């Protein structure tokens, strides 16, 4: 995808959704960290169902720790890999209390040192909570970046670096949200919904698959 097409691509996404937000439900930076940690290999819908029960009872590191492994599992057992996620979240809460005064740190290094928090999770927290121009490459972003020609790459890290280089600065902070939502609802894995795509005119995939005139 050429620079002019990239500009048009994001200008169109912005016009359709000027202030995109994550679909995970949260009311504090700690709740966001918990939700993103729980969302690995799970849908935002399933995470939201669990946290609607969990957060009214435990929404601080101290309260999560007070639940213990079994108690926490009871709230998140509908989410995939809930046992390991509960263990990681409890370990993370302990570290937040011991090393960060119970607060979520604002640096990538400190975030990635938390159990269950990888680069993608750290990028989401840095972007959503702290407004940093990061690119959390999940399956949707990886697929969309390659399919459209926006930022082709063989690994999520390669795609992340290319996106940071190719997305115009004016769109960088919100780009992650636009791409996730577009990949989730329009540029879907099995069959992209090109006939209802607002940015198909800029897409390399559409130009390759369009019938000859």
| Annotation marks residue 162 as catalytic | no
| Annotation marks residue 44 as catalytic | no
3-state secondary structure of 116: coil
**Which of the following is catalytic: 14, 44, 120, 154?**
120
For residue 28, which phi and psi values (nearest 5 degrees)?
-155, 165
C-alpha to C-alpha distance for 200 and 176, rounded to whole angstroms? 18
**Which of the following is catalytic: 2, 44, 138, 162?**
138
For Cα atoms 112, 117, 122, give the angle at the middle one, nearest 5 degrees: 65
Token look-up 């780009």 returns 175
C-alpha to C-alpha distance for 106 and 108, rounded to whole angstroms? 7
Cα end-to-end distance, the chain, whole Å: 22
Q: What's the token pair of residue 79?
A: 């989410």
Active-site positions read 120, 138
């Amino acid at each position: 995808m050429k620079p002019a097409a990239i500009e048009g691509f994001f200008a169109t996404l912005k016009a359709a959704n000027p202030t995109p937000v994550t679909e995970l439900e949260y009311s504090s930076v700690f709740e966001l960290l918990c939700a993103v940690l729980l969302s690995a290999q799970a849908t935002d819908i399933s995470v939201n169902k669990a946290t609607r029960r969990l957060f009214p009872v435990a929404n601080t590191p101290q309260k999560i720790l007070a639940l213990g492994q079994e108690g926490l599992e009871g709230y998140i057992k509908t989410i995939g890999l809930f046992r390991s996620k509960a263990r990681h979240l409890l370990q993370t809460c302990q570290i937040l209390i011991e090393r960060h005064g119970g607060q979520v740190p604002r640096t990538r290094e400190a975030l990635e040192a938390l159990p269950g928090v990888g680069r993608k999770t750290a990028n989401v927290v840095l972007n959503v909570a702290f407004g940093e121009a990061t690119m959390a490459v999940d399956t949707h972003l990886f697929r969309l970046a390659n399919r459209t020609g926006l930022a082709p790459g063989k690994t999520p890290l390669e795609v992340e670096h290319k996106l940071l280089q190719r997305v115009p600065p004016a769109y960088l902070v919100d780009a992650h949200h636009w791409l996730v939502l577009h990949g989730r609802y329009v540029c879907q894995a099995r069959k992209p919904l090109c006939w209802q795509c607002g940015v198909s005119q800029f897409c390399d995939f559409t130009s390759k698959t369009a019938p000859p005139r």
